[in-house]
Structure 1
Amino acid sequence: MPEWFQRYTGDEPHANEVRAWHSERIPAWLEAEPYTFAMFAPESADEIADHLRLREERRVLFSSSSPPRYHVVFSESSFWRSPGGPGVAVDQIRHLLGLAAEHDWLHVRVIPFEVSMRYSAPDFTLMSMGDTDYVYVEHLNGALYLDKPEDRHAYEEYWKDVVRLALTEAGSREFLERLVRELRDRMSR
């Protein structure tokens, strides 16, 4: 695990609440195995094994007796730009729907393409620890941990916009079920 990611993974299971925006991808702990394999296919077998191990380590949240309230909002592009194509996307969506149905602390919402947004910020996570809150922003060479009040405020405001624009949880579930049908239809052509 990269050193810059260790603080995040150490804090995640102990957080009170986690709120995450994902515009293009699925985070490791919510990935279905075919998604992980497709994403890291160009890498060596050892590197793929490392990614799978990290994914499983982060999935400890699913067996925790007191997981954080986890709210995640995805752009529709997170599903259309799935590595491995439509078949992997279908598996991923079904996996995500199953996780959300099994765990009442996991709240999944989607912003469809037809919803107008001012702009799409890079992926970020608002980590609420109670005494130490911060914004986590990953980039190509590492990550930023933003804990200044003005930084947190800017991301909190953007989060409010994202939540306002997203479908409800029930609406997101229906949307994702329709998307599965559409992707399967495309694969059968």
Structure 2
Amino acid sequence: MAHTRLERARRLLALDRPTCFVIPESALQRAVGGLATLAEQLEHLLDLAARFESMRIQVLPSSSPVASSIPLYLLESSPGKMVAWIDMRSRSALVTGPDDTAELRVLFERLEGAALDPAASLELIDRKRREACTAIETNL
């Protein structure tokens, strides 16, 4: 499943179209694979934001009353036509119905509006990266 997600990410980046990612703050603190892995992941986010001007990364604070429990991808397949991809633990789903995609778009817009602005988000990501690096050095 990880390989599939990486391939999907490569394809999205190859499009070089305006993209917005809203990441929950808790994801910046999950050291799955250890602190070194977390630091590398955070560095990767910062690198992507620097390399792709069309990419906007926003962090949704843990204190936000708006939340989503599932990863959600919205894509404009053609002008005015949206599709959504929902990743769940055991399966994924493609959503193409106009009413369903409109509802998911409203959810995404709420998440985007509740998230930190891109500059503040990148500052927070960098701070969390530095904290992980400091914790690694302290534990050596």
What is the TM-score normalised by the length of structure 1? 0.63
Aligned pairs, how many?
Answer: 137
Question: How far does residue 54 in structure 1 lie from its aligned partner after superposition?
Answer: 7.0
Q: 1:176 to 1:57 in 2, by over 3 A?
A: closer
1:94 maps onto 2:43 in alignment = yes
Question: How far does residue 174 in structure 1 lie from its aligned partner after superposition?
Answer: 0.7
Which residue number corresponds to residue 120 of structure 1? 68
- Contact 1:134/1:145 (<8 A) preserved: yes
Which residue number corresponds to residue 152 of structure 1? 101
Gaps in structure 2 of 5+ consecutive residues = none
- Residues 22-79 of structure 1: CA distance to partner in whole angstroms, max 9, x if unpaired? xxxxxx6xxxxxxxxxxxxxxxxxxxxxx3x9736752555x4x52211111001222
Equivalents in 2 of 1:109, 1:91: separation in Å? 18
Give the partner amino acid of 1:89.
L
Q: Indicate which of 39, 54, 57 corresponds to 1:108.
A: 57
Equivalents in 1 of 2:34, 2:83: separation in Å? 34
Query: Which moves more between the two structures, 150-159 or 162-171?
Result: 150-159
Aligned ranges 1:60-79 → 2 under 5 Å: 61-62=12-13, 64=14, 67-79=16-28
Q: Indicate which of 127, 131, 134 corresponds to 1:182.
A: 131
Is the partner of 1:162 in helix, strand or coil?
A: helix
Equivalents in 2 of 1:75, 1:57: separation in Å? 20
Give the partner amino acid of 2:6.
R
- Contact 1:93/1:180 (<8 A) preserved: yes
Equivalents in 2 of 1:163, 1:57: separation in Å? 22
- Contact 2:66/2:111 (<8 A) preserved: no
Equivalents in 2 of 1:146, 1:61: separation in Å? 17
- Contact 1:80/1:86 (<8 A) preserved: no
Question: How far does residue 162 in structure 1 lie from its aligned partner after superposition?
Answer: 0.6
Which residue number corresponds to residue 59 of structure 1? 10
Which residue number corresponds to residue 130 of structure 1? 78
Q: 1:105 to 1:119 in 2, by over 3 A?
A: closer
Calculate percent identity across the aligned residue pairs.
Answer: 24
